[in-house]
Amino acid sequence: MLELDLSNNWFTSKFPEVSVMLHLLKFLDLRFNEFERTVPKELFDKDLDDIFINHNRFKFNLPDNFGNSPVSIIILANNKFHGYVLASLWKMTGLEEIILNNNRF
């Protein structure tokens, strides 16, 4: 599976960890749901092109491996993420767009 799009469903649960187990996944879209708790740090080691996990209720510090992600687009807006972002960004060489607004950085 190359794309997993669960957006705009108002699902309530923790992060769907099956997405981390999909080895061929390139596009992850979980926008506009009620997912909560943490995002597995393994997500940022996957060879994904795009990550859209905005407008949920995720609450955690960004993991140390955040900058390992090879994504070109990552949108984390409107959650409750914490942590330091700038230290990781220099490693994200393919990054074209990042949206972080309305979090707790």
Residues 58 and 82 sit within 8 Å (Cβ to Cβ): no
14 belongs to a structural domain: yes
Mind listing the pLDDT tens digit for each residue in 14-62? 999 999 999 999 999 999 999 999 999 999 999 999 999 999 999 989 8
pLDDT at 82 exceeding the cut of 80: yes
40 belongs to a structural domain: yes
What is the number of domains present in the chain?
A: 1
105 belongs to a structural domain: no
Q: Can you give the pLDDT at residue 84? A: 79
Residues 40 and 63 sit within 8 Å (Cβ to Cβ): no
Count of C-beta atoms within a 10 Å radius of residue 15? 19
84 belongs to a structural domain: yes
Q: Provide the CATH number for the domain around residue 35.
A: 3.80.10.10
- Domain extent, residue 74, equals 3-99
Q: Can you give the pLDDT at residue 83? A: 81
Residues 16 and 6 sit within 8 Å (Cβ to Cβ): yes
59 belongs to a structural domain: yes
Q: Can you give the pLDDT at residue 90? A: 83
